[in-house]
Each structure stands twice: as C-alpha cells, then as structure tokens.
Amino acid sequence: MSEIDVERALKALDGNTALLKDLAIMFNEDAPVLLEELKNAVKGNHPMNVRSAVHSLKGLIATFYAKTGVDIAQRLEDAAAAGELDLFYCGELDRLEECIHSVQGEFEKLGWVTRPRSTNSRRPDDAADCRPEDALKFIPQP
C-alpha cells in the first residue's frame, strides 16, 4: 500500500504535476532538517519547539495525503502542546521518522527525487522508561 496519495495531491494542485514534483523536492530537503530539529527539541525538553517542528513536519506530510504520518504527527503535536513529551520516547517519534523515510522512498520510486544520505541519528535511548499508559494518553478514544 502506498504511503502517499498522488491522485489526491494532484487534485489539490489542479493537476499540476510539476508543482507536485517541486513540493516533493522541498519535502526531501526540509523534512530531514525538521526531523533533526524535532529530535534536538525532544532531547532538550522544549515542548514548544517540539510542537513547532512536529507541526511543520505534519504540514509537509499532509501535502502528499500520507494519512499515517499525519495521524502520528497530530498525536505528537497534541502531546507537545500539553507539555507531555513521554509519547516521543514510546516509539511514536520512530514511527514518524519511518513514515518520512517511506514517503521519501515513494518519491524516489516515482523518479521525483533521490533520497539524501541519512545521518542515522536516533532518538534518545529512554524507551525502557516508556509506560503503555503514556502512549495511550493521546490516542483518540471511541
């Protein structure tokens, strides 16, 4: 299954394929920088900076209708807005990063961009301190 919805993205841009490709190039350049800013803000325990970075990433991801990534980013943004950064250590930040890499991989398969080399930076190694209730706190309940 595709992470991005090219058809919907093109429809939102009135079918302008050249513009969509340009946006993919921008995503490929900006997402790694924003991801690094996000990780640094999490490490530094700066919820407002975390919220800003994850909000910007959500906007980049939403451009391509990558629902999984938008949903993850929204949960993380809500957590940061509440000053709760525990969720970032419970695998959600890794999931967001995986989604970003998946989107970049799809751009590469489409021939729109080449993937930049990864810095292979990782989140802080505090996953052992993760409690399930922290992860569940920001998942919408029916």
pTM: 0.80
Domains and CATH numbers, the chain: 6-115 (1.20.120)
Check pLDDT > 80 for residue 131.
Answer: no
Which of 20-34, 38-52, 66-80, 128-142 is predicted least confidently? 128-142
The full 3-state SS of 27-67, as one line of letters, equals HHHHHHHHHHHHHHHHHCCCHHHHHHHHHHHHHHHHCCCCH
Residue 56 pLDDT level (bands cut at 50, 70, 90) = very high
In this structure, what are the phi and psi dihedrals at residue 65, rounded to the nearest 5 degrees? 55, 40
Nearest by Cα to 77 from 58, 64, 97, 104: 58
Gap between the Cα atoms of 104 and 4, Å rounded: 10
Token pair listed for 138:
């920001």
- Residue-wise pLDDT for 63-115, tens only, equals 999 999 999 999 999 999 999 999 898 999 999 999 999 999 999 999 998 75
Distance, CA of 124 to CA of 106 (rounded, Å)? 28
